[in-house]
Amino acid sequence: MDFRRLAEPAGLLYGTAAQDAVRRGLALPLAGGPAAFSCVDLIEDRTHSGFLPVGDVPAGWQDVLARLVAKPPAAGMPEGPQVMGILNITPDSFSDGGQHRDAERAVQAGLMQIAGGAGVLDIGGESTRPGAAVVTSEEEWQRIGPVVHGLKQQKPEAVLSIDTRNSTVMAQALAAGADVINDVSALTHDPDALPLLAGERCGVVLMHMRGTPATMARHAVYEDVACDVVRELGARLTAAIEAGLAPERLSVDPGLGFAKNTDQNLTLLSRLPLLANLGCRVVLGLSRKRMIGDVTGVQDPAGRDAGTQAASLEALPLGQSVLRVHAVEGMVQALRVWQRVHTV
């Protein structure tokens, strides 16, 4: 696909207003609904048309417009908006490092997240915060392997995502029953990852990042952060598809906090509908991050759950969004209230 040409949806409508506007030809459903968009900015390279009504979009742009309308595939996760519970099996993650190092405690924490409404659990054994210690693939699997096995034994139907950059960990996790691979490097870190996953059927999350967790801060320079992130994710989608991964297996994460400062994160968050150009399910992971602290003044990451919930709701107009958070129950409550207000 040609991601030089993007269409940015705006003028969002919900509920009966969205349905009425779509019926009258004044709006189009966004990513399958429930939201609809009534205007759009056509972007070619760095040239913008300015926002115009959807009915005024030229014929030559209808293929781009169609990408915004299509409902994204499930990509290995349950249908509909979902809360993804974070389960870090690390000593040094920025918010919950060390809390789940004991496998039995981690399994119980995961079961509690499922009971609290998590549709997916995201299990990680390597911290990707700036300055985090590098761990070997062997140590990473020693951390998460018993947790994956324990959860699958006690809750076979649980949908498990594995947060890893390493192909050997991916292979072992998939053999143990994992459903999704969530790679912060978008399958650039390990050259064996793409060919491995091409032979599997699992869902795959491609996250936007520049550099590595150790170097990403120096790469936070963008001409237009929203367009640049969409186009760079588009390049990774193309690489994955060309390597043999079916498009319906792929979802994307804009990577808030990775090679982006607070202002860039907030700009990207305010323009999330632009991600609909990729035709993929969106995973949004901003739980307890520094940007929440910068906006609210809350220094302790554990105190940022309310800000996390407010910010995460920005992804819900995209329909199939997955909200990746530490505190599952509060996010589930916020999601259900949003759905009740915004859907018919």
| Length of the chain in terms of residues written | 344
- Fill in the amino acid letter for 272: L
Task: Compute CA 111 distance to the chain's CA centroid, rounded to the nearest angstrom.
Answer: 22
Burial of 304 (0-12, 13-18, 19+ CB in 10 A): buried
Strands 5-13 and 36-44: antiparallel
- Fill in the amino acid letter for 283: V
Does residue 71 have an active-site annotation? no
Does residue 324 have an active-site annotation? yes
Rg (C-alpha) for the chain, rounded Å, is 19
Residue 55, number of CB atoms within 10 A of its CB: 12
Measured distance CA(165)–CA(183) in Å, rounded:
5
First to last CA, the chain: 34
Which residues, at least 6 apart from 155, have a Cβ–Cβ distance to it below 8 Å? 110, 111, 114
Contact call for residues 272 and 282 (beta carbons, < 8 A): yes
CA angle 203, 277, 240 (to 5 degrees): 40
Among 165, 236, 289, 304, the one annotated catalytic: 289
- Which are the catalytic amino acids? 289, 324
